[in-house]
A and B are shown apart, each in its own frame.
Chain A
């Protein structure tokens, strides 16, 4: 399959002639494609040394934290969902959790399970969108998945149907739409999805398990650039399950803290050059990595047997330090989501009550979920009427941004002998490894003009 597609356009090749030493090379991509939102890339190399390495975010600011002030807690989840159309669940659920934390609400197991099921839908939808439609073309040397549809329609059709399955889960539980679902609220849901509609997903999820295995095996045949990095992996972790909707924060360097202490250990810096409130460790200012590879490495033990054996089959170890292989980890997580969703669907009974009544009080609440791209942190300070006094939201892409730049540096350093187009391609691919959601990260970003 890969060969058929490859013939369309050459994949990055090694340069035929060595570049002269004393020369300035600039790799510049003003409009990054196949990412969500608007980003740009700038790498300057002089005399064989990297002078500048920037992953720029050129999305305009939207000021969510500012206009959330004074809004009622009941409105916050739906408003923050509009930070991102690709992963609205990370905002709906994160904000709801934070409010429930603030008002000391106990959520029932049934409601919790329904949330987890819904979140599985988002993982499937978002992971397949990225892995099959946005990231796979990098490995095939083609512009987009539509070119693949010309040569291998069955692969694209299968990916599209898998993505649709994720969206359908969101629609069934979310009240009819997958982007900005309407059925969720602080305390639970407006209306219980019918048992019939939820159970009807079972057969398609069984198909989804097979389809995700097939796609994963296919992607496992790709050539992966040889690049590894000693990351500090940050994810949620939960004693009983592969963490998605809740848990404690853990890092591979040994940190284990409750969500409410997140900003005691991680900070955000407002820097001039790159426009983002960049995430880093408070202690030493070092970047960290959040997202599929972090979850896989931190919580591998809690994956299903089927996921583990598939990982083994495609050559993934129990830890994965190669960011280019994140496409495989996303697919393993897609399989996990199908299996987990099937389990939850089979056990589903209409929850009664479908929501817990919120009793506002002046307080502070925290929430964090695993968005497809990594941990998404919410903190709200509320007054006695439940109106927002202060809001802080840290999106995964903003947290990853310093690590993305460090990866760029490392990849460029090792790929100096590639010609211009190949190096540019490799750089873009390095950014796409992160499935960066620039719309998300930019809810608090600005546009900066870089003067050179």
Chain B
């Protein structure tokens, strides 16, 4: 699979390079500024912020919404204390735009599977993009796009990645709150299985033989699918230390064919390490 060339960005003195989450130092009586940016995506993750109906007014009471096109016409120039970035990089234009946003942001947080793993449009990473264009468009010569849809971290340094397709509202509030208060967000990296155990949800794979990506998928959605009698389909991407090959073997025992296993691992987080290798190994073309 082609990987985008990583570009290093020189950051201004206002945004010193550090992997750790830094405390935002608000100026005297000035609220920290928040900017929300969109790349290739469905809009659902930034909408999650507006969907925090009970908390929205409190959140915006604590920050200055400096740039959030979906919500406001007001635009304040950077630099920004915190940037939330939704979407993946799929065009030359966007590949340049993200560099500028990084320069302008003290803390940059990516939100959602598109931004953290390339998203569903990352399926083109496994195909010939020219075939895609020819297959769909009447006038292929109008189309201009990169060969890949890659996560933001492949282009710039990212301070925190919030997973999900879409992200969870509660986790989003936790990340904003933690960031503004200079602590590391309390976001678990364990698997969906832990959530099932915590919630007392009966294992759909053991009890019903329903294929479930839960054992290799990061928790955080709120244990949605297994508690709806459905196998997890991997919205939150690979958990820490996933053993996808072992799970794939179990899927074989449950009667899934190679193509089905490949597609199961190849969806909203298809390009993420931990899922990608499995789908490539089960690709019939190889």
Contact = CB atoms under 8 A, between A and B. Distances in A.
B166 A60 contact: no
A439 B228 contact: no
Interface string B214-228: 000000011011011
A78 interface: yes
Contacts of B120: 62, 64, 67, 79, 82
Contacts of A180: 44, 165-166, 235
A63 to B, nearest CB: 5
Contact of A66 (B40, B69, B127): B127
B59 to A, nearest CB: 10
Interface string A135-163: 00100000111100100010011001101
14 contacts: A61-B143, A62-B149, A66-B136, A67-B132, A129-B47, A133-B50, A144-B74, A164-B53, A177-B221, A179-B44, A179-B166, A190-B229, A190-B230, A270-B139
Interface residues of B, number: 66
Interface string B83-122: 0000000110110000000000000000000000001110
B135 interface: yes
A176 B227 contact: yes
Interface stretch (B6-14, B176-184, B260-268): B260-268
Interface string B256-275: 00001001000110000000
Contacts, number: 193
Chain B CB within 10 Å — which of A32, A37, A63, A129 has the most? A63
Given A85-B43, A177-B221, A191-B228, A63 B71 contact: no
B69 A38 contact: yes
A176 B168 CA distance: 11
Contacts of A156: 57
B93 A82 contact: no
A233 interface: no
Interface string B123-140: 110010101110111110
Contacts of A79: 120, 267
A177 B38 CA distance: 22
Nearest to A81: B42
B70 interface: yes
A175 B123 contact: no
B51 interface: yes
Interface residues of A, number: 69
A180 B221 CA distance: 11
A53 to B, nearest CB: 20
Given A63-B121, A178-B51, 8 more contacts: A31-B75, A66-B132, A137-B73, A143-B74, A164-B51, A175-B224, A277-B138, A446-B137
A149 B56 CA distance: 11
A167 B166 contact: no
A85 B42 contact: yes
A65 interface: yes
B230 A182 contact: yes
Shortest 5 CB-CB contacts between residues of A and residues of B: A85-B44, A144-B72, A164-B53, A66-B132, A143-B74
Interface string A24-65: 000000011111111000000000000000000001111111
Contacts of A269: 138
A252 interface: no
Contacts of A33: 69-73, 75
Chain A CB within 10 Å — which of B43, B48, B222 has the most? B43
Interface stretch (A68-76, A302-310, A375-383, A403-411): A68-76
A110 to B, nearest CB: 18
B144 A447 contact: yes
A329 interface: no
A278 to B, nearest CB: 12
